[in-house]
């Protein structure tokens, strides 16, 4: 059985797909959420520039 993981920015909820950060529509989010088993939280480049150093991991 294949486990599905999704890389998601915890701040803006953009999804990392095909090497890019993509903003999904509500419908796309609902479709993907039903298929995803695990969410991996990573901060996207836009949010890294806007958030203080303390929040970066």
Kindly list the domain boundaries of the chain, sorted by start residue.
5-55
Helix/strand/coil for 15: strand
State how far the Cα of 21 lies from the Cα of 19, in Å rounded to an integer. 7
Stated pTM of the model: 0.68
Confidence of residue 3 (pLDDT cuts 50, 70, 90): low
How far from 4 is each of 40, 47, 52, CA to CA, in Å?
11, 24, 31
Q: What is the pLDDT of residues 7-32, one digit of tens each?
A: 999 999 899 988 899 998 989 888 87
Q: Do residues 9 and 40 lie in contact, with contact meaning Cβ atoms separated by under 8 Å? A: no
State how far the Cα of 39 lies from the Cα of 8, in Å rounded to an integer. 7
Residue 45 phi/psi, 5° resolution?
-60, -40
């Amino acid at each position: 059985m294949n486990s599905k993981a999704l890389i998601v920015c915890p701040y803006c909820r953009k999804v990392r797909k095909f090497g890019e950060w993509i903003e999904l529509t509500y419908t796309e989010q609902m479709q993907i959420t039903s298929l995803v088993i695990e969410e991996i939280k990573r901060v996207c480049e836009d949010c890294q520039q806007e958030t203080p150093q303390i929040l970066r991991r």
